[in-house]
Structure 1
Amino acid sequence: MVNVDELNKFESPIIIQYDKDYQNTLRNKLNTYKEVVEKFAVSDECKYKVISVCDSINCALDNYYNGYTVTATEKLISIISGCEDNPFLVSTLTNNYAFRGLAPKELRLSDDPAYDKMMQEELYFFKARISENSLTREDMLHIPYDKRSIISTQRFSIPGVPCMYFSTTSFGCWLELSMPEKEYFYCSAYKLPSKWKILNLCIHHSVLQNDMNTLMGQPFNEEEALIVFPFVIATSFRILERNRTFRSEYIISQLLMQAAKIIGLDGIAYSSKRITALEAYPQCVNLAVICDKSTENKIGEYSHKCKEIQLTEPELFSDFNSYKFNNGKIQDKTLVIKHYKNNKGHQNIYIMDNAIKYHESKFALYDEYLVSQEFKTPALKEK
């Protein structure tokens, strides 16, 4: 059995001081991971695939630093394409480990009525903006194509291509926006297409610490999770160095976004890097959706994907009166609250270093208020 202290080396985010240390630190982490997997009683095929994924990530980074960005992307396309039948890595949004844990039957090896019930719950997502002025549904979409010049570089982004960024809770959105003043914090709830194909980068290192072939007491295909984890390591760095115009920790994430686009995926799910991965699930799981312009696009400056979603009117957090809504009581309307509020390992969030049970927070009530509002497809003008 693998030493627990050794596995704790894979806690994320991985925090380092300087950008120049990213490549060597990543290489060392991946080498250590290969050594750890070698100690597991898993198949030789699994060990081979883990080595292949780790080596491909290192090779892609080398290619990128040497100016061979196309080759770097192709390297990741090759490895993802070879793992597309791995449900831990690629699946539809509704069957994705990032949002439903082991509930999807493709991920577990036995029946479980609780998970079957969880699969029947609707998934809700949230997106937020900071604004001094009132916003509409249309304001809660991606940056229009005619405003590409204001698209900034994000961890999961493609230069010049707009994306939509969602979280599983309003708290997750607030965290990603650097905890803004609540009188400027607008949020909408979303229903997204269940058929969207999503790359999952949300597996936590504790997967490796459970007894062989079980996770949270549920039998599952551990080998498939082990193969995915190197991608999580490579995209989970946080570098403290300030005043940088280039961020090495974004390289693999952005290459994966380009690879996802090329092979026909709709986006990538990932844990927030502003807190530990263990704290991030399930309240701070994020989703970056690629908003490419279809050749058959008929809605002007917006992606065809905007016609596939439904959302509520954005509501200002400071205008939301938690005491008037449901008399300040949680009604278990979202999957995050309903299925995790009694789970000791996944119920807390941290505000100002204080632990709060999520279902007892105003953010949880805000979530429930938002999903109780009317969902509509945005009224975009066709061209």
Structure 2
Amino acid sequence: MTEIKLASKSLTELLEKLFSDESLNPPFELKKDIVSDFNERCNKFIQLIKEYSSSNKTKLKIELLLNRVHELKDGIETCLQKFLSGDIKAAYECFESMLEPDRINKHILYVTVPLKSICNDKQPLYRVRKSDTPLSTRNDIFHIPFSKRHLVSAQRYSVAGLPCLYLGTSLYVCWQEMKKPDFDKLYISAFTTEDSNSRILNFAPSLLNNIYKDDESAISLVQRKASYLTLWPLIIACSFIKKHDNSHFMQEYIIPNLLMQWISQRIQSPIVGISYFSTRMKKSKDSLRSINVVFPPKATYKQTEENDFSPRLSSLFDFTPPVSWQVLKTLDYQNFGDKTEEQIEAMEHLKFREKRFGITDFDEDLVKLYPLTDFYKLEVCIDSIFDYDKIDALT
């Protein structure tokens, strides 16, 4: 076995151990203050690496890996402490200096994926908005206009006042992220892109085999796996579940906010957003349908003054006009077109369940049964009957 294959095998084994440990596999419930909880999980991760190294023959450069992990852990801990002590400027400067060195920055690039790999004409992304008044044009469902930035509250990957575009890989994850609102006031839209240069920072690493092409070179795959292990402290810091829904300040969002600011400031960078698993779908977190994707506007001050919408995001996507969830359901979408392969497989799974022992946990079975739900059928319907087009940033 070659050195590359041995290294790949070791990295795979380490990732499997990581994913099998609930205390290290996102999302996380905050048990203490953010600094202590983060520190404890990172120390456990470091111990996992050391134990693996001591009991396995490996070609991995364990000391180098541990050095990088410690560097990120210490840097993030300092950022948190400075932010919580009120020195927000120093917190961002610390964060920026932590990611800038090539020894760290190269790992950021290795864990990105082409936007087109998760957003294309066969696999759109979706957006859902709740509105008391009818939405009819594309600008009604794009990101909040810059002229209305006072309406933008802080979210996991966006600071107050910065209108970001939040999309999901399914209507279901969008609905979950909105805390399961009634359907009668919801409007939906599907997004695609033809852009071949833009990349997404992929914080949904357990889907490596689903997203990356089978023909990826062995060396590239080794680098990617090693980068996930290196960046795990950053992934941990971005994956805490919000503890208090109605709080004005969320310590769980400190590092995700700093990361999004860091990406936003790099206007020329090919990284245009972040993909991450929904913290509201813990039992289906290994599914491609449980991923959120957030895009910062990446706009200069002048652009925010001259345009309602981000010129970069406006040119990036083609999307359908918003359509009322309830109105779309009045169509005979249940019998719209032939059944897809996914629906046929889901029906077989349901028959198998019925014959054996039934459905004992719907949330766990939903991944395979999803093509039989209204969410999936509406996705197929909206993609089939509505046209895709771009929005004018000036509108």
Tell me which interval the TM-score lies in, with the shorter structure as reference length: 0.7 to 0.9
Q: Is the 8 A contact 1:330 1:365 kept in 2?
A: no
In 1: Cα distance, 2:75 partner to 2:287 partner: 28
In 2: Cα distance, 1:244 partner to 1:187 partner: 28
Cα distance, 1:341–1:88 mapped onto 2, change above 3 Å: farther
Shift of 1:150: 0.9
2:80 maps to which residue?
A: 61
TM superposition score normalised by structure 2: 0.75
In 1: Cα distance, 2:348 partner to 2:106 partner: 33
2:213 maps to which residue?
A: none
Q: Is the 8 A contact 1:341 1:358 kept in 2?
A: no
The answer to whether residue 379 in structure 2 is matched with residue 367 in structure 1 is: yes
1:200 maps to which residue?
A: 202
1:269 maps to which residue?
A: 275
Q: Is the 8 A contact 1:84 1:90 kept in 2?
A: no
The amino acid of 1:126's aligned partner reads Y
In 1: Cα distance, 2:276 partner to 2:363 partner: 23
Cα distance, 1:16–1:342 mapped onto 2, change above 3 Å: farther
Shift of 1:183: 1.8
Q: Residue 156 of structure 2: SS of its match in structure 1?
A: coil
The answer to whether residue 389 in structure 2 is matched with residue 376 in structure 1 is: yes
**Per-residue CA shift, 1:275-323, capped at 9, x if unaligned?**
2275253101111111143366496221102233110122222233431
Shift of 1:204: 3.9
1:302 maps to which residue?
A: 309
The answer to whether residue 250 in structure 2 is matched with residue 247 in structure 1 is: yes
1:330 maps to which residue?
A: 340
In 2: Cα distance, 1:341 partner to 1:90 partner: 35
The answer to whether residue 27 in structure 2 is matched with residue 13 in structure 1 is: yes
The answer to whether residue 138 in structure 2 is matched with residue 137 in structure 1 is: yes
Q: Select which of 91, 106, 111 maps to 1:85.
A: 106
Q: Residue 286 of structure 1: SS of its match in structure 2?
A: strand
The amino acid of 1:317's aligned partner reads W
Q: Residue 266 of structure 1: SS of its match in structure 2?
A: strand
Shift of 1:220: 4.4
**Per-residue CA shift, 1:182-225, capped at 9, x if unaligned?**
22221100013342232222224999xxxxxxxxxx97443122
Q: Is the 8 A contact 1:13 1:277 kept in 2?
A: no
2:356 maps to which residue?
A: none
Shift of 1:94: 3.2
Cα distance, 1:261–1:191 mapped onto 2, change above 3 Å: same
The answer to whether residue 238 in structure 2 is matched with residue 227 in structure 1 is: no
In 2: Cα distance, 1:281 partner to 1:123 partner: 14
Cα distance, 1:68–1:381 mapped onto 2, change above 3 Å: closer
**Structure 1 residues not aligned, in runs of 5+:** 101-119, 208-217, 344-348
In 2: Cα distance, 1:198 partner to 1:10 partner: 23
Shift of 1:4: 5.3
The amino acid of 1:15's aligned partner reads E
Cα distance, 1:88–1:272 mapped onto 2, change above 3 Å: farther
2:215 maps to which residue?
A: none
The amino acid of 1:365's aligned partner reads K
In 1: Cα distance, 2:147 partner to 2:360 partner: 39
1:215 maps to which residue?
A: none
Shift of 1:381: 3.9
Shift of 1:23: 1.9
**Per-residue CA shift, 1:148-193, capped at 9, x if unaligned?**
1111110110331110000111111111111111222211000133
Q: Residue 39 of structure 1: SS of its match in structure 2?
A: helix
TM superposition score normalised by structure 1: 0.77
1:210 maps to which residue?
A: none
Q: How many residues align?
A: 339
In 1: Cα distance, 2:294 partner to 2:242 partner: 21
**Structure 2 residues not aligned, in runs of 5+:** 1-12, 53-57, 210-219, 350-358
Q: Residue 165 of structure 2: SS of its match in structure 1?
A: strand
In 2: Cα distance, 1:91 partner to 1:331 partner: 26
RMSD: 3.6
1:212 maps to which residue?
A: none
Q: Residue 89 of structure 2: SS of its match in structure 1?
A: helix
Q: Among the aligned pairs, what percent are the same residue?
A: 22
Q: Which has the higher strand share?
A: 1
